[in-house]
Structure 1
């Protein structure tokens, strides 16, 4: 029966490379979900899987270096986001440009959030790349995506792990892939081993320097990669704050629409911007899925 097995792929920035590992494990076991719903990076992985382009996504992910990550970030200042997102979309389009969602073999939904209303939008028709881009448009980082006259941003604001979308599309058994299991503690002890020096000299920030002296590549490196003073850049601050919010929303949504099976890759120590560490995340995804393959194979064959 069509639509009996669904998979909900959650958001999580670079941690989303673990989705590739999970999907590879399912594919190797002959398990192909009838319904695929993804949020943010989950929409990218799920869309590539639905289009039969998971191998291409894996090759791209494994090829990324620190320098390569920066090259794919096209600065958009001034604008509605730090990053245009055109370079990343162009890479996706190289393999996915012809694909329309309604022509895919599996039912597919990319979850987005409408700017202004906060409505949860399920993109299940039209160009696949456009739906992906709308789903991962993190406010302040990526420019919002205009879809049918409405501005869309990251779907994790409303449905970080879209189990409900799978159920609505007819799935009777839903697998959820959670990229944040154990990654965010409810309470953290902060040791006070050193005192803050109130006499630290003030340092001119990039925003205070003349715009003509701002080198785009240097700016992006400061914002996305480790800084010498260990101070977080604005991009990291936005992402971490969003990550905390996403985790709390996910807990609430999953309590109302629990999946039949939750796969939680062990990604401790893997940062949200560690796109250059795909080998690690993909391996963890495969490891997390492997114990459940026999049960899933039996269900898929029922």
Structure 2
């Protein structure tokens, strides 16, 4: 079997679109040869490489999500959705908005392994060295620490300290790390940055301005990478009007990701068919 490498990019709640793509691999009875992830891509990649099925991920996130058509007010009517508020730092003193420790503790409960060496599928996690202004690729040590570093978007989560380096969200240097998969026969990259439809005249909130500015930078980095060395398949789920922290809109993200999942399905079928035809 030819080696398939999978790169999962950052994008906050839009990154839930990675889950339907992993479900397509399950349909074919396939696992990538290796996975590389940034930010939410690192979180979902860690779960998957540790053995958590994409179906379990879908069921878990759906349990804490609004149904399509429900408004934000429904969060206060459903006790299960109040889970999201447990991550907000109510004692915010100007450093970060969310509590990394609370989220990481919940993630650790789900992970069956917390060491890279124990993973079912090899994983590379991308972070950025804040002071050196360069990429750091984490492939050994504690998985939770690496995930913390990769998702540490300044202003949202505190930076991580690993090997005396101050590490922040990997999207600052490599938003979709498909270049880390050069040893694979087929490289699949998933870009989950999505789009917004607000009019050009709309003045964004401070939070929206910060998040979108970060994604403008990420989009520029990705375009440059694709121009110089594109992956074999670039999947860009049509995620529209999902903001960075709107994880409670999982149903909408899953629906919007269906076209990209179908594109992946067709390519995997094509590659498998071609490989079978080459068999003696």
- Compute the TM-score of the two structures, normalised by the length of structure 1: 0.77
Deviation at 1:76, TM superposition (A): 5.7
Deviation at 1:283, TM superposition (A): 3.1
d(CA) in 1 for partners of 2:133 and 2:104?
24
CA distance change for structure 1 residues 131 and 44 in 2, over 3 Å: closer, same or farther? same
Partner of 2:25 in structure 1? 26
2:200 pairs with 1:190: yes
1:9-41 deviation digits (Å, cap 9, x = unpaired): 011011011111111122122221011001000
Aligned to 2:109: 94
Q: Which runs of 5+ in 1 are unaligned?
A: 193-229
1:60 CA displacement? 3.1
Question: C-alpha distance in 2, partners of 1:36/1:176?
Answer: 10
Deviation at 1:79, TM superposition (A): 6.0
TM-align CA RMSD: 2.5
Q: Distance in 1 between matches of 2:211 and 2:83?
A: 20
The farther-off stretch of 108-117 and 49-58 is 49-58
- The match for 1:63 is 63
**Between 117-126 and 58-67, the greater mean CA deviation after superposition:** 58-67
Superposed displacement of residue 299, structure 1: 2.9
SS of the aligned residue for 1:254 comes to helix
What residue in structure 2 maps to residue 175 of structure 1? 188
Residue 142 of structure 1: aligned partner: 157
Quick one: distance in 2 between partners of 1:254 and 1:75? 41
Matched with 2:68 is: none
Aligned with residue 283 of structure 1, among 255, 267, 273: 255
Structure 2's unaligned 5+ residue stretches are 66-74, 76-81, 276-280
How many equivalent pairs are there?
258
CA contact (8 A) 1:7 1:174 kept: yes
Deviation at 1:191, TM superposition (A): 5.2
Whole-angstrom CA distance in 1 between matches of 2:256 and 2:200: 29
Deviation of 1:140 after TM superposition, in Å, equals 1.7
2:113–2:119: 8 Å Cα contact kept in structure 1? no
Paired position in structure 2 for 1:264? 236
| Counterpart-to-counterpart distance in 2, 1:29 and 1:14 | 26
* Cα distance change of structure 1 residues 298 and 76 upon mapping to structure 2, 3 Å threshold: farther
Q: TM-score when scaled to structure 2?
A: 0.83
Report the counterpart of residue 241 of structure 1 in structure 2.
213
C-alpha deviation, 1:110, in angstroms: 0.8
Give the aligned partner of residue 43 of structure 1. 42
